[in-house]
Chains A and B, each alone.
Chain A
Amino acid sequence: MNINTNLKEQNTYDAIVIGSGISGSWAAKELTEKGLKVLMLERGMNIEHIKDYESAMKAPWELEHAGKLTVEQKRTHPVQTRDYPYNEATEKWWVNDLECPYTEDKRFDWYRGFHVGGKSLMWGRQSYRFSDHNFEDNAKDGFGNDWPIRYKDLTKWYDYVEKFAGISGQVENWPLLPDGKFLPPMDLNCVEKSVKERLEKHYNRTRILTIGRTANLTVPHKGRGSCQYRNLCSRGCPFGAYFSTQSSTLPAAMATNRLTVRPYSIVNHIIYDKDTKKAKGVMVIDAETNETMEFYAKIVFVNGSTLGSTFILLNSTSEAHPEGMGNASGQLGHNLMDHHFRCGAEGTAEGFEDKYTYGRRANGIYIPRYQNVGNDKRDYLRGFGYQGGASRGLWHKEVAELAFGGDFKDTMSLPANSWSMGLGGFGEMLPYYENKVYIDHTKKDKWGQPVLAIDCEYKENEAKMREDMMNDAAEMLEASGIKNVKTYDNDCYPGMAIHEMGTARMGNDPKTSVLNKWNQMHEVNNVFVTDGSCMPSIACQNPSLTFMALTARACDYAVKELKKGNI
């Protein structure tokens, strides 16, 4: 092969970051701010802050199909249409499934967005710290390997990322859900306040209800506007009021003049140099032209989303790494986890007919985990938290009664007669070695790459937990004065929570883990993986805040090691 040395120089950076979502953009920010020249590679299109959020300011009547999907969209997005996030107003964020197929040994809903900003533009913004309970659970019950870090290792990094990102929330002193550096909390509504009061009294504050901790700004923060309570976050925020690559980390990284962003750059594999035993760069397929090219750097941060990153590592084979880069342990691709949810209870709140809401709060309530702690013992391991909330909606029984006419219309123009309140559980899934992904060479994607095969299922521990997720919710609602309480389980398959994690886990022992306690690959010390794939367990909290903290911490370590000449 002929190598143009000028080109090689042009294509050489201090660091390459693969992926531009929540963790990738944090890596780009931290590494550039510490003086490194960084190339951030994104496989999809560019998205310019505000300008490219075309649907963000559209009124309901400006959406051609009233938010509904066309038959053609359903044809090209057979996976993305399995759940609600893909709709007319958000369609540009979600991948065309026909272009990037994967193999489902068992049903796994893989929701993906290929664009600068990744899922930072589409995320639910709920931001919770992990506690020592979470870091210790693996060691205590023996499922999965022990986390190589504890809460004290991450505390200052949680502080650091929260202060920059802007997380609103209420201090609660709840051991399983450590408090953070919060912006003022959003308000609970009148029904939620009533439920909180009755619930905490009934359970003598062994269970608590708090407002969701969310990456939505309740006050202006670092030049970004505060939340306008439109509840249209999923379209991209023209006020920059929630944390995203575009609103937050990308402008900070760009301000250093040391960042290059290259969209339409699919990383096919990381190039291994057998002489130095390091990664020397990445091979990229241009998504528009299908041309291949190489980029080189001293360190590589892999932030392509859990399964995206794992695919790249599995596909980075060499003589020294025949089963994928850094996979001597055989753990790469294994221990895939996702939260299980879509079950809980709901009912109606009476006595609030003279109350209504003003504004649309893109946040709900949170009940942190209280199971398998202290005297609370269950017949399964770990536990769950609840998200939910109360609202006075638009439902009227006349809809189902097939009513029509002037009275029907006038009724439909009013809010519902009563408030409703719901609690939906988010449960921890255990790490199981046999829940895995691997490369399926029998299929190719649009760019000629092999595809990922996914073989993952919930097991008995999750099934038992779901019973409690329904029944505990019903008991708490009833104890709080909610009427007509009904439980539900709408079925859940891995992938649906879009919290897939665990396929390149951290650990102290290179024999049983892929990454060390600094998210550094045991075997290839200039490769760092700081997205969801690094997680040895997933707790029951929404994970993105933890990815941010781990990323900032790993960047700090990587740059120090680089300066010491250790990398």
Chain B
Amino acid sequence: MNRREALKSVAYLMGSAISATTMGVLFENFTLPEKEKNKVPFSATDEEVLAEFADIIIPTTASSPGAKAAGLGAFIPMIIRDCYPAKMQQIFASGMKDMQAKCLKDFNKDFMTMTIDERQKLMGELKDEAIATEKAPSFFLIARDLTILGYFSSEIGCTQAREYLPVPGKYDGNVEYTPGQKAWAT
């Protein structure tokens, strides 16, 4: 059995345990030729754009610094390169370009020079688009997912937005909760 056939049988075996999109992702993953990297490059400017983009999703608030401060500008491209199969990398990269083209078209400036209000308006449109396409994988969805993942895994997210207890030492399943009390980070 050659590699492709072997993979098809794996995909078949995966059955309905895994959702269709995830299975697609896995399939792409395994049909990549051995040596092919298919890594999408990200420039320093891209990282700045992603940091600002993430900071609209999770901004600085009274409680804690936001996504940019938490290092999401570097985290997002790192995860895309290391953890996403080629097809998803390409969806992300081309979607990011489309987003930047939309900025020029709709706001007549590039993303980095847009005001916070303008960026929020843009984000609202991307969100509506994602809902209209029934959450098909897109730059907005991947960037937002990774912002949430990365932020609440970051030191700022865990220790300032939420509260982190490295060694609780005991378990109490019946403690009082006061409204507004932060969640425990895990």
Interface residues of A (CB under 8 A from B): 57, 59-61, 63-72, 74-75, 78, 82, 104, 107, 186-190, 192-193, 228-231, 353-361, 392, 394, 399, 402, 404-406, 408-410, 412-415, 490-491, 493
Contacts and interface: CB of A to CB of B under 8 A. Distances in A.
Nearest to B37: A71
Contact of B177 (A192, A193, A230, A356): A356
A231 B119 CA distance: 40
A413 B66 CA distance: 12
B172 A66 contact: no
A405 B120 contact: yes
B121 to A, nearest CB: 12
B148 A187 contact: no
B79 A65 contact: yes
Contacts of B174: 187, 189-190, 193, 355
A66 B186 contact: no
B102 interface: no
B158 A359 contact: no
Contact of B161 (A67, A75, A413): A413
Nearest to A362: B171
B16 A491 contact: yes
Contact of B171 (A68, A187, A490): A187
Nearest to B156: A61
Contacts of B84: 71
Nearest to B56: A404
A394 B183 contact: yes
B63 A402 contact: no
B85 to A, nearest CB: 6
B166 interface: yes
Given A190-B174, A358-B170, A491 B82 contact: no
B99 interface: no
CB-CB nearest 3 A-B residue pairs: A189-B173, A359-B168, A359-B171
Contacts of A355: 174-177
B114 interface: no
A361 B171 contact: yes
Contacts of A409: 58-59, 61, 66, 151, 161
Interface stretch (B7-15, B90-98, B103-111): B7-15
B175 A66 contact: no
A107 B167 CA distance: 40
Most buried by A among B58, B164, B165, B171: B171
Contacts of A392: 177
8 contacts: A65-B79, A70-B83, A187-B174, A354-B176, A354-B177, A357-B171, A359-B172, A409-B151
Given A70-B82, A71-B83, A107-B15, A412 B148 contact: yes
A65 B29 CA distance: 18
